[in-house]
Amino acid sequence: MTVSSSGLTASLSPIVDLLRSRTTCVLTGAGISTESGIPDYRGPERAGRPATPITLKEFLTSAEARRRYWARSAIGWPWMESKRPNPGHDVVASLERSGICHGLITQNVDGLHRDAGSRAVVELHGALRSVVCLDCTKTESRYSLQERILVQNPGWMQHAGDVAPDGDVHLDAGITASFRVPACLHCGGTIKPDVVFFGESVPAARVERAFSMLAQAEALLVLGSSLTVYSGYRFVVAAVKQEKPVMIVNDGPTRADAQATAKVEARLGDALAYLGSTLDLV
């Protein structure tokens, strides 16, 4: 059950004490971006079954799947790019500036932590603001790609649909069938958003950097993640193995509730506002 505002002070007290006494590695999920207007996959306000993003296998083996992905992404990108950090992102950036946060691992691909001023960041699943060629490995900004998409598909932005957390928009197959997929500027190869798809492994070097951040910290603070996906949950497993306190703030249950040293179920915006004020960060 979500904590009421009157009970927030007492419930967050153990987390405040830990943050004051230990350097911390922060792990964030989609829940920290919901107040920027970006929906999450599994939050309590999402009705029905969670949306299922495209898998790596689909993208690699099906030209139709790639056309569908880019057709829908072209509609969602301006909406996604327009989003800005919310006060929760600002508090996390302030945790770093104050020396409390040793490093930030985010499962999000929206880039909002960097926009808010966080610098010691590992974007575990990549970032939507870049695309990569699967053939020559050259990269291109998503902004540049969007310009090319609109040249090749005039009038495409007249379409609309509901936007998912990864910028995908739901469009009927009949609409996407006519979409022209741009090729790599350098070699004419297949381009992919520079993010980790479902069924794809996070690059080993990136995982190593994230584990290094955790190793150098004295505690782990999880914000806005259900930890359903092992990609994020493994850092809780590692922290417990290293006998480091695990603090969790999430608007709903998580996979690691039983392993948490301190768990608060509350709206993340309210909780972070309190933490920021109590720790003299804002």
**First-to-last CA distance in the chain?**
28
The DSSP call for residue 37 is: T
Query: What is the DSSP annotation of 151-213?
Result: HHSTTGGG---PBPTTS-B---HHHHTTPPPPPPTTTS--EEEEEPPBT-PPPHHHHHHHHHH
Dist CA 229 CA 264 (whole Å): 20
The kind and range of the H/E element at 131 are strand 126-133
Alpha carbon distances (Å) from 61 to 121, 135, 200: 32, 14, 14
> What type of residue is 239?
A
- List C-alpha distances in Å: 201 to 108, 195, 197, 260: 15, 10, 8, 26
In the chain, the amino acid numbered 230 is: Y
Q: Give the sign of the dihedral formed by CA 146, CA 150, CA 152, CA 155.
A: positive
Please identify which of the residues 89, 102, 113, 125 carries the catalytic annotation. 125
Identify which of 76, 89, 214 has the alpha carbon closest to the alpha carbon of residue 146. Answer: 76
Are 150 and 73 in contact, with CB atoms under 8 Å apart? no
Tokens 């910028």 -> residue:
167
Quick check: is 89 catalytic? no
Return the active site residues. 125
